[in-house]
Structure 1
Amino acid sequence: LPWKVKYWGLGNEIDGPWQLGHKNAEDYSKFALEAAKAMKRTDSSISLIASGSSDFGGDWVSWNRVTLETLRNDIDYISLHTYIGNRENNFERFLAAQADIDDRIEVVAGQIRAVQARMPRRRPIHIAFDEWNVWYRARGSSEHATGATALEEQYNYEDALAMGMFINSFIRHADTVKMANIAQLVNVIAPIFTNPKGLFLQTIFFPIAEYAKQKDTLALDPLVDSPTYNTPRRQGLKYLDVSVTLHQASKTLHINVLNRSEREDIEARIDLVDARPASSMSVWELNHSNLKTTHTFGDDQKVRPVTRSVPVSPELRYTFPKHSLTILKLQLA
């Protein structure tokens, strides 16, 4: 095709009764299969994304199973969507959403492997986590709300920490999650907010921008031993939520740590196996004393990351401040 559009979604949230064109899994899969055949016949180089379940109140596992079994020979991705919110005004429960995100990824990854096991030629199918964000305040006045400001979420500091939580999960599951794009980018539930006179950066902008610097890295699988906490729904959640990446060409290690404790700094010993760091490391830290701090026009400097260089001792230890997101950047010898 002349426009060279590589990625195509076979519908969006079709399992959701809120969508025009809503169907059950069987009807959707049959319709999507015919569309996939026609599209691939037109351009065999495109990548197709099946509409995975977005209605986690329903039988989402069955939806994905039927979709994968029907479309397994014709799709390259299946989508996942998740939005979270601190409706209970409880910081630690809010960031416990990490467990749901991990579970959903791992369930779908298992379904992909189950389908592939019955294929004569194993076709790569990955997860496109192509909608994710914090979204619970600006939901519109009705299902079909209209107007320029209906979905303009104003983000605070704790929402910025949730960005690290999401991206840490994507990195930990990088073998399956090959696409993860936030919804949206400007004004509507977005990191950048504009009007005709200018713009400001929302609090959630800064973690997204910093993690983006870790592109073209290898995701590592860290062993994490951390103090834990419980919620009514989850037991044994680790206060330190961690992902690690390595840029192989430059031998640069990134250790991404979200401290989900609202009240306690946590000291950690960092053991590097078969690796030796340089004498100092770079620290990127996002922190603020007020979890509810927001930005607006002319006032978007309150939540900003700080960077510094710190010496590395033979026994590498670091104290991660309460309710903070930290990225340690180490140069390996």
Structure 2
Amino acid sequence: MRPKVVLVTGVSGELGGRLLSRLGARSDLERVVGVDTSPPAAKILRRLGRAEFVRVDIGNPLIAKIMTSARVDTVVHAGPTCHPAGSGRRWAGKEATVIGTMRLLAACQNSPYVRTLVVTSTTAVYGASPRSRAVFTEDAELIPTTVSGYSKDAVELEGYVRGFARRRPEVGVTTLRLADVLAPDFDTVFSRYFSLPLVPTVLGFDARLQFLHSEDALAVLERATVRARPGVSEVFNVAGQGVLALSQAIRRAHRVPVSVPRAAMPSLGRALRGARRVNTSPDLLRLLSFGRVVDTTLLRRDFGYSPRWTTPQTFDDAVVSRGVT
């Protein structure tokens, strides 16, 4: 049974808002509803098509009433998909990622109509350490990079999603672990990091990085939304083919690297956060030290999608083409 009524969360974000617009343009969907505590950007609102926006917190009991009254059969939880760009409060991020997810899943569990759930996660669930795998497959152990922070929140989120899948085995659940998303008009931590005139790197390390173009991220999300598979729970890594060493990326961005001893990086990170330049969190600093690469065989073989943009192409389009800022 193909989806008829779709609910998209997190539509004030770049990815969620653009997904709402794409789904609103589809004639095979009867209704598309986007929810968030603030509306999508003005450029998205002008292109919603048949989609509609409702201002509501997913932690509010009203979300369950909306889902039931609209007979929502497909829920797309487009939460955080990359390292936060700004220096927002830690609690605010955890509330949106973990607590909001818990309450949304409770609403899904109590709804008699929900048959498909799509959740955006992140490759940060694999962590980044000297003992990390060279390449992570979907069956790898989930080890958050730090004891608290973005990656730990994502691991918790996935734990709640697995619990929901066990309680509602008839619902098809697709979890998409996205690499850091880049696009020319996306404000991300990496677009800010590579726009610094002097780019700090960890002395003695040259991390391997993967990126995902926003066009591929949206295409995968749209495909997962309309690809109804009741009773099937799946997890897919989503990233552009190939890798970039951090030193290569800095050269491509025409920036000057500055090697900093690892012990001094937290102090430098606090200075950059204080200047509201880059959210150099402990998660990001470990990624810049040890890197992370994921395998996308299942995405191509089982999900049926091959990203159009490679990691180098994504980086060139999103960072290099922007020029000096």
TM-score in same-fold range (> 0.5): no
What TM-score does the superposition give when structure 2 sets the normalisation length? 0.32
Q: TM-score of the superposition, structure 1-length normalised?
A: 0.32
Q: Which has the larger radius of gyration?
A: 1
